[in-house]
Amino acid sequence: MKQKTFFIFALLLISMCFLSITFAQDSSEWHLPKGAIARLGKGSITDLKYAPDGAHFAVMSTIGIWLYDAHTYKETALLTGHTWGEVSAIAFSPDGKTLTSASWDDPVRLWDVYTGQLRATLTGYVNDVNAIVFSPDGETLAIANANEILLWDTETGQQRTVLSGHTDSVKAIRFSPDGRRFVSASCDGTIRVWNVLTEQHKSFDVKLNKYADVALSPDGKVLAMAHRNIRKIDLWNTDTGQFLRTFRTAESMDTIAFSPDGRTLASGSSGWPNYLIELWNAQTGEILTTFTGHTWLVDALAFSPDGKTLISGSWNDALKVWNVETGESRVTLRGHLGWVGVVAFSPDGHTLASGSSPHTIQLWDTDSQRYKTTLEAYAFEVWGLTFSPDGQLLVSGSTEEVLIWGAHTGELHARYQNWYGAIAFSPDGKTLASGRFDGTIRLWNVNTIQDWKAVQSNAVLDEHPTGFYSLAFSPDGSTLASGGNEGTVLLWNVSTAQLKATLSGHRKPVSTVAYSADGKTLASGSWDDTIRLWDTETIMLRKILHGHTDCVTSVAFSLDGEILASGGGDGTVRLWNAHTGQAQGALTGHEYEVNSVAFSPDGRTLASGGGEGTILLWEIQSEVLEDVNGDGSVNIDDLMFVANRIGQMGNGNVADVNDDGVVNVLDLVAVAGAME
């Protein structure tokens, strides 16, 4: 008995060692909403800042602020906490140890860069913070709040004074190197140069375009203004208000940034298809070099303190680190996604595909919950995404075309223009349905992967008068359901291409349709904020589900047919009893709308894609597998239960928690993890 007890506790000790490795938290698990097990994607990039000491850089995104180690390029923290809207401005203190952040209507927050902890909040202002900057000695924080500049004491957290005079939003602010002079540029078309001690100022008219991106040189003596639509950058002397020069850019620009010595100006392009970064001599206007490599608009730039490195951020997920002297791209950091429009699991459940804007598809390893690769086709938003039933093909539908990919190789096999939008594979993999927003649907005959370049269309279905948004095959493949812009669901006989039935009732466009695994229920979601459950045998309405406060964007049934999940424009994922329609709860955590939901093949994981550029993975289980003795909680008794059955073989053994056919230490690890 003593030997057995010793053996059990030895196993427990081993399991705890496994836990320290298995359950080590990485960045995909930071600040997760309740119920989520991982986050894929880090949100859309909105700005970049380098720490003055060169140790870190910060990436402002739609879900918070990511801190990176500037030497290893690894994430060190995710800073969250602003409760209203996304972060609008960030700035490092002169010593690089503090980061400050603001949103559109929330207290300014001060963070410890090395611990990621919130140090203080500054309250007492209203809203609309466009810029923040520290004084050179770090004792004063300037906040551009609407048309005023607020000066705060960083030690006491007390407001010192308010600089008033601008009549429109202040877009850029900067202290002089000695801290005595302060420059502000406003949408009212003026630059103001302030004496910090006397609060007196002089004002110059610079015809500032409120839609232009602006930047002040490090010494505050030059204002650069990038005109997005007319491809030029204007420079002004802030001491005299004198116009200095104009740079003519190759493409429309979205962002500009000065080097630390003020001699170089970088501009990021937003002009399709050439997404360039251009470096200019700020004194002469001569173009020095051009960097290429981004596949979508460059909307954030930041120089390292020594000026030798430039980091650029693109909306479609890429951070690039450049050697300024050679123009070489040193590192590309993936994960910051644009708008996520659709998610889909591979048939084996090991891969999750996500489609974002522009037409990029990210593939994620669901076992490690890490990024694998990106498929780029230089098109527009991905609206449809589906794997073939055998897992060999991945088909994407955008606002322009349908693309056929090798799911394992990432090779683009074929592209079909003018057939786009929603797509669906038949269960046997022999037929692909796709269609256009003008209301026509095409059925394609799929033979082998080699035949894609010679695919022949079987039929064209044309009954939706004003367009459609979604397609779904019945489990037996005999029926195709399509959701229309006019608020109807049409059921088609696949073999004859004839219309079988019309389901009416939604008051607005039907954005999503899905069949239950047994084919007896069809769910339709609409912009009218409702979900309708239809009996496919009687073609009658069974239930109307109310809960979303904005349009229903996506619905999906679990494989066992017990749960219906829905995503909505209200930013929630809702779970329903698929038989009764009873609400089973809401999952919250997306900052923007939820565009897509999908169950993993085993039904244990639900993926949801959001407009803020993230995918959340939620654990969905009708029972807790780790509660092996069935007493309603996971505790030491469950560990003992498993330990007493170590070595037992056979399927169906409740002690075999991970279902690998044998009860072993991995099952102990799983139970111990559930206890934690």
Q: What is the mean pLDDT of residues 224-228?
A: 86
SS (H, E, C) 393-421: EEEEEECCEEEEEECCCCCEEEEEECCEE
Question: What is the per-residue pLDDT for 294?
Answer: 86
Q: Long-range contacts for 456-462 (Cβ within 8 Å, ≥24 apart)? A: 458/431, 458/497, 459/497, 460/497, 461/435, 461/492, 461/497, 461/499
CA pair distance 62, 60, nearest whole angstrom: 7
- How many Cα atoms are found within 13 Å in the side-chain-facing hemisphere of 102? 26
More confident site: 603 or 67 = 67
Question: What is the per-residue pLDDT for 453?
Answer: 46
Per DSSP (E only), the strands in 294-339 are 298-303, 309-314, 319-323, 329-333
Query: What amino acid occupies position 399?
Result: T
Name which of 524, 525, 549 is nearest 534 in CA terms: 524
Cis peptide before 94 (omega within 30 of 0): no
Domain ranges of the chain: 2-22+624-675, 40-333, 340-619
Min mean pLDDT across 59-73, 167-181, 445-459, 488-502 is at 445-459
Question: What is the per-residue pLDDT for 1?
Answer: 47
Q: Long-range contacts for 541-550 (Cβ within 8 Å, ≥24 apart)? A: 541/503, 541/505, 542/581, 543/580, 543/581, 544/505, 544/581, 545/576, 545/581, 545/583, 547/574, 547/576, 547/583, 547/586, 548/572, 548/574, 550/593
Q: What is the mean pLDDT of residues 266-281?
A: 84
CA pair distance 388, 394, nearest whole angstrom: 6
CA pair distance 61, 185, nearest whole angstrom: 24
Name which of 278, 275, 264 is nearest 232 in CA terms: 278
Q: In sequence order, what DSSP letters do the residues of 480-513 get, joined into one string?
A: EEEEETTS-EEEEETTTTEEEEEE---SS-EEEE
Place of tokens 């008068």: 465
pLDDT band at 464 (very low <50, low <70, confident <90, very high): low
- Helix 665-675 crosses helix 636-643 at what angle (to 10 degrees)? 180
Question: What is the per-residue pLDDT for 438?
Answer: 72
> Tens of pLDDT along 305-360?
999 999 999 876 689 999 999 989 999 998 888 889 999 999 999 999 998 876 68
Percent of the chain residues past pLDDT 70, beyond the cut: 88
> Tens of pLDDT along 517-535?
999 999 999 999 999 999 9
Question: What is the per-residue pLDDT for 378?
Answer: 61
> What 3-state DSSP class applies to 649?
strand
Question: What is the per-residue pLDDT for 452?
Answer: 46
Min mean pLDDT across 165-179, 396-410, 489-503 is at 396-410
Q: What is the mean pLDDT of residues 249-259?
A: 88
Q: Is the pLDDT of residue 24 over 70?
A: no
Q: Long-range contacts for 646-655 (Cβ within 8 Å, ≥24 apart)? A: 646/11, 654/628, 654/630, 655/628
More confident site: 675 or 143 = 143
Phi, psi (deg, nearest 5) at residue 17:
-65, -40
Q: Is the pLDDT of residue 450 over 80?
A: no
How is domain 40-333 classified at the architecture level of CATH? 7 Propeller (2.130)
Q: Decide: residue 649, CB within 10 A, 0-12 exposed, 13-18 middle, 19+ buried.
A: exposed
More confident site: 173 or 11 = 173
Those residues whose C-beta lies under 8 Å from the C-beta of residue 567, and which sit 6 or more positions away, are 552, 553, 554, 555, 573, 574, 593, 594, 595, 596, 597, 608, 609
pLDDT band at 11 (very low <50, low <70, confident <90, very high): very low
Question: What is the per-residue pLDDT for 17?
Answer: 46
> Tens of pLDDT along 52-85?
999 999 999 999 999 999 999 999 999 998 877 6
Residue 236 contacts residue 207 (beta carbons within 8 Å): no
Q: What is the mean pLDDT of residues 420-431?
A: 88
Instruction: Lay out the sheet containing 530-535: strands in order across.
Output: 510-515, 521-526, 530-535, 540-546
Which tokens in the block code for residue 353? 């595909």
| pLDDT mean across residues, the chain | 87
Question: What is the per-residue pLDDT for 19?
Answer: 42
CA pair distance 320, 318, nearest whole angstrom: 6
> Tens of pLDDT along 555-578?
999 988 889 999 999 999 999 999
Question: What is the per-residue pLDDT for 413?
Answer: 86
Residue 552 contacts residue 570 (beta carbons within 8 Å): no
Q: What is the mean pLDDT of residues 580-602?
A: 93
Hey, do 40-333 and 340-619 end up sharing a CATH topology, with the first three levels equal? yes
Residue 405 sits at the vertex; the CA angle it makes with 399 and 409, to the nearest 5 degrees, is: 145
CA pair distance 468, 340, nearest whole angstrom: 20
Q: What is the mean pLDDT of residues 610-619?
A: 94
Percent of the chain residues past pLDDT 90, beyond the cut: 56
pLDDT band at 16 (very low <50, low <70, confident <90, very high): very low
On whether the 2-22+624-675 domain is CATH 1.10.1330, my answer is: yes
pLDDT band at 230 (very low <50, low <70, confident <90, very high): confident
Model pTM?
Answer: 0.84
Cis peptide before 358 (omega within 30 of 0): yes
C-alpha distances in Å from residue 179, one per residue of 135, 151, 197, 201, 220: 6, 12, 10, 15, 11
Q: Report residue 235 CA to chain centroid gap.
A: 35
* Beta pairing class for 370-376 and 393-398: unpaired
Name which of 333, 334, 335, 372 is nearest 350 in CA terms: 372
Q: What is the mean pLDDT of residues 280-297?
A: 89
Q: Is the pLDDT of residue 157 over 70?
A: yes
pLDDT band at 132 (very low <50, low <70, confident <90, very high): very high
Those residues whose C-beta lies under 8 Å from the C-beta of residue 235, and which sit 6 or more positions away, are 222, 223, 224, 225, 243, 244, 245, 246, 247, 282
For the ranges 359-363, 414-418, 419-423, 479-483, the one whose mean pLDDT is highest: 479-483
Which tokens in the block code for residue 556? 């999906």
Q: How many CB atoms lie within 10 A of CB 499?
A: 13
CA pair distance 297, 433, nearest whole angstrom: 32
Q: In sequence order, what DSSP letters do the residues of 546-591 get, joined into one string?
A: E--SS-EEEEEE-TTSSEEEEEETTSEEEEEETTT--EEEEEE--S
Question: What is the per-residue pLDDT for 624?
Answer: 61
CA pair distance 395, 412, nearest whole angstrom: 10
CA pair distance 370, 359, nearest whole angstrom: 20
User: Looking at the domain that runs over 340-619, which CATH code has it been given?
Assistant: 2.130.10.10
Question: What is the per-residue pLDDT for 379?
Answer: 58
Burial 12-34 (b: 16+ CB within 10 A, else e): beebeebbeeeeeeebbebebee
CA pair distance 63, 609, nearest whole angstrom: 13
Which tokens in the block code for residue 662? 């044998």
Query: What amino acid occupies position 150?
Result: L
> Tens of pLDDT along 347-370?
999 999 998 876 689 999 999 989
Q: What is the mean pLDDT of residues 411-421?
A: 78
Instruction: Say how many residues make up the chain.
Output: 676
Question: What is the per-residue pLDDT for 252?
Answer: 81
